[in-house]
A and B are shown apart, each in its own frame.
Chain A
C-alpha cells in the first residue's frame, strides 16, 4: 500500500474536483481542445522546472511511496499526473465559480464575448 502514497494525493485531487462535472455541470472535460491548449504549455514549463529541480537535487521522492514508473529525466509518473490533474482542478474550480456567478454582471471572468 505504501507505494500508493503519492498516487493517493492525485486520487484525492481528482475526487475533490471532478464531482463539479457531475453536480455543477462545469463542462470542462467536454471542452478538451481548450483544456489541452491551456494545460500543455503551462505543464511543459513546470515539467522543465521539475526536471531542473530533480537534476539539481532541490527535491526528491521516496522510492517506497511512488509507483516506480519514470518518464524522461527520471521524473516519476505521479509528477506528470500532478501537472495534469492540478491544472484540471483549477479550471474546474473557476468554471464552478462561473456556474454560480456568471449571471451577476459585477463578476467578469475575462472570457466574455
Chain B
C-alpha cells in the first residue's frame, strides 16, 4: 500500500476507535477540536523543519504529491490519526477511573 492509502485508512480507523470501540466521541467535543487547533500549527512547523531540511524524505511514487509547508498532505492525516488515537485512549482510561484526578 502507498503512504496515501495508509493515511486514508488511518483516519477512519481512529474515528471508529473513538466513536464505537471506546465510545469516547472525542470528535464531537470542543475539548478535542480546541486541542487539535493548538497542536496543528506546531505540527505544521515541526513537519516543515523535518521536510524542508530533508531530514525526512518521501518517495514521490508513494504520495499524492500535494504538499503543505513542504510536507506531504498525507502527514496531516497521519498526525490526526495519531493525536485522535492517543487522546481517545487517554480519555478512555480516565473514564475507567485510571488516574482520573490531576492532583
Contacts and interface: CB of A to CB of B under 8 A. Distances in A.
Q: Do A and B bind each other?
A: yes
Q: How large is the interface on A (under 10, 10 to 19, 20 to 34, 35 or more residues)?
A: 35 or more
A23 interface: no
Contacts of B39: 89-90, 93
B103 A56 contact: no
A72 interface: no
B89 A101 contact: no
Interface residues of B, number: 46
Given A34-B90, A38-B86, A89-B39, A9 B6 contact: no
B31 A5 contact: no
B100 A33 contact: no
Contact of A46 (B56, B62, B82, B95): B82
Given A57-B62, A59-B56, A93-B35, A13 B95 contact: no
